[in-house]
Amino acid sequence: MTVRQIGEQRYRGQIGRYFEDFEVGDVYEHRPGRTLTDNDNIQFSLLTMNYHPMHCDAAFAEKSEFGKLLMNSGLTLAVVLGMTVPDVSGKAIANLGWKEIKLLAPVFSGDTIYAESEVLEKRESKSRPTQGIVTVRTLGKKADGTVFMEFVRSALIQKREGSKDAEAGY
């Protein structure tokens, strides 16, 4: 979270960065991390109607090659994506897409996960002069450094000039 001064000795927290604040090659280490639990996994799996027994049937999972429940990859993707919002897309107008989502290692209950994003590309929008497109590669990492997920995401980001943040109280 960034902070901007809104008066003498008064500051307001802000989420996200404007298009001008991104530089190709910058890497954002997103914090805090999140320790995932069996409860997170089962609730997410049931909420999203993913009843695969590897996510919600411990007796079944004990007989698998992993020997225990696996975290639902939809959950880990959602948590990693959420971690990036304060740094990457807090000023986004819209997410434009995800690609190359790779699941590289299993995640289990009790694992603490982190994320980091590298700015791959940025360009001015051709049709929206007050916005630009930023593309990042995000890695999901366990506390031991194991990379368990990777994806590329593009977002349409507000430029500082023409921003409606001040009008909206942000």
Residue-range definition of the domain harbouring residue 146: 2-6+17-158
- How many domains, in total, are found in the chain? 1
Residue 106 lies in a domain: yes
More confident residue, 1 or 9: 9
Residue 12 lies in a domain: no
pLDDT in tens, 27-49: 999 999 999 999 999 999 999 99
The pLDDT assigned to 10 comes to 86
CATH of the domain at 126: 3.10.129.10
The pLDDT assigned to 7 comes to 76
Residue 67 lies in a domain: yes
Residue 170 lies in a domain: no
pTM > 0.85: yes
CB of 1 within 8 A of CB of 12? no
Share of the chain above pLDDT 70, in %: 92
Q: What are the Cα distances from residue 91, in Å, to 81, 132, 134, 157, 163?
A: 15, 11, 11, 6, 9
The pLDDT assigned to 3 comes to 65
pLDDT in tens, 55-107: 999 999 999 999 999 999 999 999 999 999 999 999 999 999 999 999 999 99
Residue 169 lies in a domain: no
Residue 167 lies in a domain: no
Cα separation, 39 vs 142, in Å, equals 19
- List the structure tokens of 136: 């990042």
Sign of CA dihedral 82, 161, 14, 17: positive
Residue 108 lies in a domain: yes
The pLDDT assigned to 164 comes to 66
Contacts of 95 (CB under 8 A, 6+ apart): 89, 153, 154, 155, 156
Residue 163 lies in a domain: no
